[in-house]
Structure 1
Amino acid sequence: MRHRPRRLRLALAVLAACGALVAEAGVGTAQASPAVSLRAGAQGVIAPGVRYEEFSVHASHGTVYGHLLVADLTNRHVSVDLLTPGVVAAREPVSRMADAQGAVAGVNGDFFDIDEAQHPGVVSTGAAVGPAIADGVPFKAAVPYGQRFGPAPPPGTSTRDVIGVGYDRVARLDRLTLTGSVSTSGGTIPLRGLNQYAVPVGGVGAYTSLWGRTSRERAVCGSDQLRSAPCSRDTYEVTVRRDRVTAVSNRPGAGAVSRDGFVLVGREGGARALRRLRPGAQLRMSSGLSGDGSLRFAVGGFPVLRGGAPLGGLDGVTAATRTAAGFGPQGHRLYLLALDGSAERGAGLTIAELASLMRQLGADSAVDLDGGGSSTLVARSPGSHRVTVRNHPSGGAERPVPEGIGLFSR
């Protein structure tokens, strides 16, 4: 028996997958031309263990054009990591971050703090909603659920949900919780935040050099239930270098945080706890992100598919340009997807359709990432040392974002 070439097998799989999406969405398939097809000449290996595909699918709101990256995590040359501008509170185009870090391909990441119109005078931080781990280092923790940006996620999900890859090279969904505290001569102060744009009401958040130079004032605005709630007036900030308090302030400040120190920002009860600290006081901080497994890379996103089944309560009405990430049943194959968002091709997918598409493409579990103007997929051409944008971002150009998922082949 002759076996089909691998490239043809994947092409047929994508065709069958997207055809199933049409059926599940209730869209008729009796048409003169196929409702779903790979785009000729737009697929193939871009690096050892990494493939790129383009496809179109006829969904409930019209024909949608998509771009897919498939990474074989069992290939020893392939790795996955967080794309960043180097700090949490900053934004750059995905292509620039990918080239700077040497990625062969990637997509944009989590939803982020993009608009502070509800808090006049407060600077938008550009920081992402959920947790992030880069090369094994906790980059940031999650903001409270009510402080999230983006569409309403399905019931039972959390801003602490992530998709990640462990040191065992296996992809998985996880939920990362901040663990940490500050030890002082007068006792221990629990940490409720790490490099995040919103600290829980009554809590204390820590900011390291990974935060960047952006103002920390946004950290004390909003509430755990409502992002637009007023900024707290009961706040306190403590600056620490080499385990000693060097400065205190009644308001959160701005500017770079020393690599040999950190800044603590408290609101309400957290502010009262910090006011007991005086310049010269000695203290130690410990922090980490804990989940079900040991992750080398993680990025926030709300689950839409878990264990082969779409989550309940997914929106099946609102269509938009989407970005998603998922993995196969054993976590050995990673799928990164972004849709075109140009005006003439802006039909989009509902969240329910996105979950169905990811499942039919081969993913066992998947998360929805930031979409709309943020949706970006980049990849190198064979032999090139720079990536190019493969989808058509809304507005005609890349939107700067705080993070992305990078594929590396070395």
Structure 2
Amino acid sequence: MNTVKVSESGRKDAGSQADSGHSEQVMEQVTAELRRIGDEVKSAGEKALLEAKNAGALSVDTKKAVDGMLVKQGELQARLNDAEQKLARRGNDELPVCKSVGQQVVEHEGIKAMMAAREGRARMGLKAITSVTSGADGSAGALVQAQRVQGIVVPSDRRMTVRDLLTPGSTNSNAIEYMRETGFTNNAAIQVAEGAAKAESTMKFDLQTTTVATIAHFVKASKQILDDAAMLASYIDGRLRYGLAYVEELQLLKGSGTGGNLNGIYTQASAYQAPFALAGATSIDMLRLALLQSELAELPATGIVLNPSDWTRIELTKTADGAYLFANPQSIAGPTLWGRPVVNTQAMDVDAFLVGAFRLGAQVFDREDASVQVSTEDGSNFTTNMVTIRAEERLGLAVYRPAAFIKGDFGLVK
């Protein structure tokens, strides 16, 4: 592509240069003459003042000479102003003129030639303005600013459900003790003969102890960022509390009971043993048999805990003709099975299940509610303007009746 640049004629450029040179010469000459006349006016003025002081008045010749010099000075000043205006006008003529695309097309020599011939093609180059870069000619990238959405996009939170199943409680100690009946021999019988000895039954009790566990974590942030980002402090507070609740859910359900961990419900639950054999038992059948096992232990289950994947598989169970076995896709009722509520949580492993009498069989004790504390006195925090933000809670779990809970797996995941 050839780009044609149209300039003024050489004659006009030469004329402009000549005018410029003449105006500059005039300015130099007039300035020098003004300087000379100024000196003469100053000298004549001093002479006139001295003459007036001595004689009491100016002579006619002196007054005429001074007036002539003042007139000459005024003429020279006018010529100097005229020369300066000519130079200023020429400087303005040299400023670049921004022309529209239409003006550039109309004034382009190639376009003019094509229009005169009424045929042919003409090409002219135009510098595109883009937002790709911000440093080269024709770029406008710095003018485009990204839109910032206010706030922070928070990751999805797990819905906590296990605590709601348990009997709530509180404690002021670091350990919880309770007596559990671990044996009972029932020899109650009908008295056969009057005066005969009565049958003796026996009972056994064991003291059970569960420790209060501490769940805690912290983050560090600069004092400046907490001051400058007003919502960051509350955001950190919420995320730290969520972290406590997340670990609490896992501990209540599957804590190992060692190394400061809670002794979880699933950990202490009784293993699933079908009260009777059932050929080709499905997941739904197994859950019903687990409920029966709990009922036979005189501790009727009040709920079922499943992983969401297992509950979905159960809901999608269909008959031979493709109809859902018991689920209604249009229903908004909560998940239930065999008359018991089903609790979905990812804290439960896929393919595992837990049924139990939750409120009768276990209780959670809060020693210290979840709290968030801020300190600047940790280590070098004071000298580095850092802040330590710590979240902490303390709680204990008492599983009074392990037989109230039945755990097992469906055997579908190998």
Q: TM-score range by the shorter chain?
A: under 0.3
For the pair shown, the structure with the greater C-alpha radius of gyration is 2
Question: Would you tell me which structure has more helix in proportion to its own residues?
Answer: 2
TM-score, normalized by length of structure 2?
A: 0.22
TM-score (ref. length: structure 1): 0.22
Identify the structure with bigger relative contact order (alpha carbons < 8 Å, sequence gap 6+).
1
